[in-house]
Structure formats: structure tokens, C-alpha cells
Copies of this chain bind each other. A is one copy, B any other.
Amino acid sequence: MLQNSEGHSKCEQCIVRQFNSLKSLTKNELVRISGCKTSKIIKKGEPLFQEGEHINGIFCIKDGLCKVSKMSDNGRDQIIHLIRKGDIIGERSLINDEVSNLKAVAVNDMEVCFIPKEEIIRDLQNNSNFSMDMLKKMASSLKNADNVIVDMAQKTVKQRLADTLIFLDEKFEKTEEGSIGISLTREDIANIIGTATESAIRLLSDFKKKKLINLKGKQIFVLNIPELQQISQGF
């Protein structure tokens, strides 16, 4: 192989772009961005960026998954987002010209493209389709954040675990065996729902006993979504 086909692939031809705001860029803008982007491989467990870091651009996820978290005052990591192929991350710090308030760590091996800040800012200012698209994405994220806040504030840990299982089962392509397609530790799950690891483990066992899920090592099989939805709503 004479060249790294990943590193030199073109944004104009990248299928991933269809899933995010970059789809609103013109051909010319894409060619320009393609010329200054860089590609990166992030190994499982490695950070894409850290809390407090100057990101200075956005990442477009070409492949893989990452967990985005924030450290709380009491020293526990709260996972706020799970990001996957097609998603963009870093646009907020870019727009506000601030260091990142979040940390992103690869859940499995990732391939990402990095686009420098200036290029994105330029297009946000000149291409109103692009900026409107970004606005829509943010408005939608804010709506979602409202829902998360309400759930965190009002639901029990059991309800939140049910929510999380439904969410993971829906959002991530399942494995061949039919289990949830994102391999998280029990600690990760606890850090998504905001509880102690032991509590998450106990409730998972509980759900297994009730045949709502099945557990085979790290694999989680969601068996009864309707019942999980009932639990989520407090029944």
C-alpha cells in the first residue's frame, strides 16, 4: 500500500458527512476543508480530548464510539453523551472560544477527522445553511438536555437504568448475537445513570431475575422493552 488511504480520503466523498451538519457545506467548501483536515486513530481507552483542553477545531467521527464525560465535585465521572460514527464533537467549545468542559474517551478503536477552528468559523459566517443546520442541531441537543435534567432530578435509579438500557438497545447497532452493540463496563453504566457501581450491578441482576434482560459476561441482551418502558415510567 503506497499511501494511507484513510489519512488522505476526501470529505466530498465521505459518507459519514451525510449524518451531520457538514452536509450543508458546498462542494467548494468541502474541498477546502478536505485539504486542511487531519485524520487520527484513537485506540480504545485513549482520550480524544481532556477537560480543560483547547480543542481548536471539531472532530468528525468516521468510525468507533466514545464516551463524553465530566468530573463532578465529588470526584465521580458523569457520562453525558455517547458519540458514534457520523457525529461531530467540539463545535461548542469552538463557538464559545473556550476550553472544553468535557472529556472524551474512546470506547473502542476510533477513526476521526479533525477540522481546524478557523475553517469552520469561516463557513459558519458565510454559509447560512450551515449555520442554520448547526443551530438546529444545538436546539435539538438543548431539548434533549432538558429531558435528561428532568429524568436525573425526578426518576429513581431503577427508572434511569431502564431508560438507559432502552436507549443503548435502540441507538447502537446490535452484535451478531443480538446483544447491545456498545461494550460498557458496569462502572460506565453507573456513570451514565448517576449511581454507585454496586447499585447498577444489583439492579442489573434484578432485571435479569425478572427476565427483562440477560447477562452473559459483558454482553447485555434486552429481552422485554415494553416492561422496561413501564419501569421507566414508574410502574
Contact = CB atoms under 8 A, between A and B. Distances in A.
A202 interface: no
Contacts of A80: 146, 149-150
Given A154-B194, A194-B154, A135 B76 contact: no
A164 to B, nearest CB: 12
A92 B139 contact: yes
A155 B70 contact: no
A124 B148 CA distance: 28
A215 interface: no
Interface in A113-139: 124-126, 128, 131-132, 134-136, 138-139
The contact size tier of chain A is: 35 or more
Contact of A152 (B74, B98, B194): B194
Nearest to A97: B136
A132 B94 CA distance: 12
A143 B101 contact: yes
A142 interface: yes
Contacts of A150: 70, 72, 78, 80
Given A125-B132, A132-B124, A72 B151 contact: yes
A224 interface: no
A142 B138 contact: yes
Contacts of A205: none
B153 A194 contact: yes
Q: Of A93, A140, A154, A155, which is in contact with the most chain B CB atoms at under 10 Å from its CB?
A: A154
A215 to B, nearest CB: 24
